[in-house]
């Protein structure tokens, strides 16, 4: 389905934070749930720890797991600089196997959409179910297909700018191609900057699966976990067709 590893966007942890490091409302939402369980916490697809680190700051025993060595390396450096004892693990959310069990598992940054098939989603949920303590909680979000533009647009659309670690102003544009059969949106992200007057360009690819609430809830039901709550935004607004996101809170039977 894709001829790349789907990690091209995650090859440079420090610059990832330059692009995405703002305070997102999801962090407060997940941190509150984590604190309510008392931990231990497992943050799946933790990236550079943008959520993992705020959870660890609450004094909870915290583990972050991700597939990108660069993202993990920067997460490790940031946590060490704060003296936080986070366990950082390299692993795939579809196949990880740990001895420890967790009271709370999170997965944010729409990382659920890196599960490009229903089989991948099922594998993830099976790993989560296995690693939750009885009564434990798993929370994640995925972009709502009806709240998003799932068209094909091969003309570059402006996206955002940021200043990278070398002080270059980077301008980002995107193109997108939607595969309706597989429900997968293939983005190409193009970054342009100048070095000593020379134009530079880097293109990276990322594919994300879009799953609507009905299909998602059927997959959740098969996992053996129970859907405890579902929201359309971080303020716990109800999920509607216009909601930009589907936030799901799942529980394992006590």
Q: How far apart are CA 103 and CA 37, in angstroms?
A: 6
Q: Which of 250, 252, 41 is nearest to 138 (CA)?
A: 250
Out of 39, 40, 47, 145, the residue judged to bind ligand SAM by CB under 6 A: 47
Pick 2 or 253: Cβ nearer ligand SAM = 2
Q: Which range binds ligand SAM by CB under 6 A, 62-70, 126-134, 138-146, 229-237?
A: 62-70
- Supply the minimum distance, in Å, between the C-beta of residue 196 and ligand SAM: 31
Pick 206 or 220: Cβ nearer ligand SAM = 206
Pick 78 or 103: Cβ nearer ligand SAM = 78
Compose the 104-143 pattern: x for residues touching ligand SAM by CB under 6 A, - for all others: ----xx-x--x-----------------------------
Q: In whole angstroms, how large is the CA radius of gyration of the chain?
A: 18
- Supply the minimum distance, in Å, between the C-beta of residue 45 and ligand SAM: 3
Place of tokens 């659309």: 157
68 scored as a contact of ligand SAM (CB under 6 A): yes
- How many secondary structure helices (H) and strands (E) does the chain include? 6, 11
Helix ranges (DSSP H) in 110-198: 118-131
Out of 45, 172, 239, 249, the residue judged to bind ligand SAM by CB under 6 A: 45
DSSP symbols for 48-113: TTTTHHHHHTTT--EEEEES-HHHHHHHHHHHHHTT--EEEEE--TTT---S--EEEEEE-TTGGG
Q: How far apart are CA 33 and CA 19, in angstroms?
A: 26
10 scored as a contact of ligand SAM (CB under 6 A): yes
> Which residues are at the interface with ligand SAM (CB under 6 A)?
7, 10, 20, 45-47, 50-51, 66-68, 71, 92-94, 108-109, 111, 114
């Amino acid at each position: 389905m894709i001829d790349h590893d789907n990690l091209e966007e995650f090859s440079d942890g420090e610059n990832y934070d330059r692009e995405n490091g703002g305070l997102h409302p999801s962090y407060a939402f997940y941190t509150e749930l984590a604190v309510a369980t008392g931990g231990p916490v497992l943050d799946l697809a933790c990236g550079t720890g943008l959520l993992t680190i705020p959870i660890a700051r609450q004094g909870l025993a915290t583990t972050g797991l991700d597939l990108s060595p660069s993202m993990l390396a920067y997460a490790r450096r940031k946590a060490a600089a704060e003296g936080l004892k986070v366990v950082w693990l390299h692993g795939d959310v579809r196949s990880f196997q740990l001895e420890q069990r967790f009271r709370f598992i999170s997965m944010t940054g729409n990382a659920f959409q890196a599960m490009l098939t229903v089989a991948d989603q099922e594998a993830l949920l099976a790993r989560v179910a296995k690693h939750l303590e009885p009564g434990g909680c798993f929370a994640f979000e995925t972009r709502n297909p009806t709240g998003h533009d799932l068209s094909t647009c091969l003309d570059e659309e402006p996206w955002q700018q940021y200043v990278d670690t070398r002080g270059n102003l980077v301008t980002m544009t995107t193109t997108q191609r939607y595969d309706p059969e597989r429900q997968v949106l293939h983005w190409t992200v193009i970054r342009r900057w100048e070095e000593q007057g020379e134009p530079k360009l880097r293109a990276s690819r990322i594919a994300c699966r879009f799953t609507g609430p009905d299909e998602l809830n059927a997959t959740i039901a098969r996992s053996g976990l129970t859907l405890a709550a579902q929201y359309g935004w971080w303020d716990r607004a109800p999920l509607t067709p216009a909601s930009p996101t589907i936030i799901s809170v799942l529980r394992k039977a006590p």
